[in-house]
Structure 1
């Protein structure tokens, strides 16, 4: 009976997933990205150097979050298990061409990320405790006058990050251990594996120890772990590429050939869901989250003199996530010569690739990297959820209420470790898609405000000034907490 219900639910979620990404989200994501790229004159390329300069600026308020700290929180959520497992899945299912479509969705998505984070800064709210907060729910209410839609988005975000993404991060970490010998030795008399139970419980306990405190602890922990984690991972990828340098020309040739192969684009007999186009866009979106509406929650917390500064910083986060970290995974997998296939997907694909280069130490490195990636993802995700809980309540929720939510989040982490591959990925994709379906039309409608802010920023930069924003400079009608 339980198996029947499980299979029925899994089938329903899978069907919804295919419908959303086959017909709606691909068009909406690409259209929004191309539109904002044109409107901003390629801000993600043109001002990449400026974004690097801005991220080093210090906050003048000791109680506020700096631009760099906000970048680390959003990057902690973006740079996660999806950068390892998600990329490996896309290649295993969609082939070499999936990498190109991940690059493309990141390239055009950088402009989308810029717009949504700039809007979050413009409409951010002042906290009574010092600092600021905000996100899509707040700019939906301030600019569109719809608190009900803001609440719907907040609920979607909590479901996506506290349930969908946190279950997936937990599953991916435990799944990375399935390739080890001890995984099959830890079984019950009935043949059920014990590692998901033991590992899920330990991960839930570790997360609980960290999060039963205030939000600043999350910022501090991720601020230390994310740079170390990302740099070590990229260094390892570079070593693999140098050792297998002779493979690089053929790998690049197959990436571009696969991306524009008719069968790769439309999926052939396997269907559109397994195509390079579909897999590249889905895994690219899951990884960099541009347009989903998550990063604006972190962007709104930053203390900057002009909203465009944080828009540029969050645009940089997309570059770090996909162009650097996802490419690192792709090259680690493909430069070793192991052919992608659906039978070898997820963490075992990356582990097998590194084992071929580094021997037995390779899989252990990936497991350790996944532990760090999963941990920082879990923390960054809950940072977003707390802000949305406050929005729904219309106030700062009590410490006791927050602890109840944190306890629920720890239970979800444990449950995620017990789930199966197909369902846990489909749930995450569907919930993320719902967020994007709400946020993308909103920022398309409000994009003009971000464009005027960008023009104001560039005008001040050309005059040799450190840009300072005032709402009247862009004829903003809505009253704001910071810029009036």
Structure 2
């Protein structure tokens, strides 16, 4: 099984996927005229101004759901893995993937908003790649093919987020807790499973509330600790940045010949961490209550920055500035050690690198703090995974007439993700990461190819938003006005808004007369 997973992983994560993700990010950066830089004011404005409604969460809550999925074990163990197998230069390529991926995230998340709909059982907004793949070309001869493509994506996402990916998170928590306090991995798995069950039964609103409380607090605390460590090693800051940039372009003697590995591991772990192009962000984006799809596209574009440029960078600085890492050849801990660093022998690649880095600065503090950070980051990520899986199950539930059958499938999904958490906690890290990489890679392939073909509605929405902003208006979305078809939710909303405006105008005329 291990050999099979490795072989499948190598096929999915071939250089073709790396170049596809980088190329798509570069292309979307060009066609959106660098929106990840020029639209930062719009990103920050929408995060603070967005309001929730009966059916949708606020832009901030949607961002927290998204960050709950993005900020997880990948920000700690994933960064350590990238450095161990790709060298310090992998960090630069994670940054590059974040910058380019921000534009990709805007496109996919704007599409998620354009083609969202309301869940017929809960009234909540649902959307994502399966929805926009099916709907965007529904009026064309390609409709049957796109329907099949959407179904394949939805199945892949359900499998990835309900079984493949949760195991990585619970495995990282179990390893960190055992390293810090000696608690059995089995007991950690049970505690995680019970807490997960309590929250997911409450649906999207409870998940959003929990994420809004936990994610900002832990992310800020983690970044602050990293900055303290960095400034306590102030003299090494130029050296850390120099090592990252030199290694990224094969200019550092100690890591010569690792350019390909630096790019591969940087992009791979960058995509796993910030999820740009993976197809997970659009589901959270679709849940938000906004007046124009581009607004939530901006918010989710900013989420990529928070994840990689802030949290992942904090991890990298902790590891590199304290010299608590090793670099292995052959992309395996069994391979020869190219760089030994100052980390004690026997510390496995993963959270242990960060724990030892913190411990070298604050003796006795590192293992416990990292264990707590990983526990919260990973747990909120598992919650986000459940929401993604439920959203894609809801895609199929639209065709199931029996409400009892729909509810039974939801409960089956809940059982599956709880089993995944329990199994992931006690399995080996290698197997957990292999399954996770397969899940991430598969959905990334399907989604990036899709948005390259379906980008036009998102670009039209961006142009429409910009035009309305220049007129001093608060952008309101009317898909028919700008030639976007099959955005039924927004068509009905635009009609209702026009009717309300007409009624208000009539009342005003009556009052004046």
Query: 1:55 offset after TM fit, Å?
Result: 1.2
Q: Paired residue for 1:197, among 154, 167, 186?
A: 186
Query: 1:452 offset after TM fit, Å?
Result: 1.4
Larger radius of gyration: 2
Q: 1:63 to 1:228 in 2, by over 3 A?
A: same
Q: Is the 8 A contact 1:76 1:376 kept in 2?
A: yes
Alignment of 1:238-249 (within 5 A): 238-249=227-238
Q: Is the 8 A contact 1:133 1:300 kept in 2?
A: yes
2:505 paired residue number = none
Q: Paired residue for 2:75, among 75, 80, 83?
A: 83
Superposed CA offset, 1:171-218 (max 9, x none): 1111223534736xxxxxxxxxxx122221222122122223333211
CA distance in 2 between counterparts of 1:382 and 1:38 reads: 34
Query: 1:401 offset after TM fit, Å?
Result: 3.1
- The unaligned stretches of length 5 or more in structure 1 are 1-8, 184-194
Query: 1:479 offset after TM fit, Å?
Result: 4.5
Superposed CA offset, 1:39-62 (max 9, x none): 001111111121000111232633
User: Is 1:207 equivalent to 2:207 in the alignment?
Assistant: no
1:161 paired residue number = 161
CA distance in 1 between counterparts of 2:375 and 2:408 reads: 29
User: Is 1:100 equivalent to 2:109 in the alignment?
Assistant: no
Q: Paired residue for 2:310, among 297, 306, 324?
A: 324
Q: Is the 8 A contact 2:180 2:371 kept in 1?
A: no
Superposed CA offset, 1:276-321 (max 9, x none): 1111111100000000111101111111111100000000110100
Alignment of 1:50-89 (within 5 A): 50-59=42-51, 61-89=53-81
Q: 1:181 to 1:65 in 2, by over 3 A?
A: closer
1:444 paired residue number = 452
User: Is 1:110 equivalent to 2:102 in the alignment?
Assistant: yes
User: Is 1:233 equivalent to 2:222 in the alignment?
Assistant: yes
Alignment of 1:216-231 (within 5 A): 216-231=205-220
Alignment of 1:74-473 (within 5 A): 74-128=66-120, 129-144=122-137, 145=143, 146-180=146-180, 182=182, 195-261=184-250, 268=257, 275-342=261-328, 344-394=348-398, 395=400, 398-473=406-481
- The unaligned stretches of length 5 or more in structure 2 are 138-142, 334-347, 495-513
Alignment of 1:22-41 (within 5 A): 22-41=14-33
CA distance in 1 between counterparts of 2:97 and 2:440 reads: 15
Superposed CA offset, 1:354-393 (max 9, x none): 0000110121100000110111011111011111111123
Q: Is the 8 A contact 2:322 2:360 kept in 1?
A: yes
CA distance in 1 between counterparts of 2:255 and 2:448 reads: 25
Q: Is the 8 A contact 2:52 2:59 kept in 1?
A: no
Q: Is the 8 A contact 2:162 2:413 kept in 1?
A: no
1:474 paired residue number = 482
Query: 1:16 offset after TM fit, Å?
Result: 2.0
Superposed CA offset, 1:128-178 (max 9, x none): 444421111111110133322211111111111111110000111112235
Q: Is the 8 A contact 2:193 2:422 kept in 1?
A: yes
Q: Is the 8 A contact 2:55 2:125 kept in 1?
A: no
2:46 match: secondary structure: helix
Superposed CA offset, 1:298-357 (max 9, x none): 111111111100000000110100011100111111111334334541011000000000
Superposed CA offset, 1:73-132 (max 9, x none): 111000111111101111122111010000000100000000000011111113444442
The number of equivalent residue pairs is 462
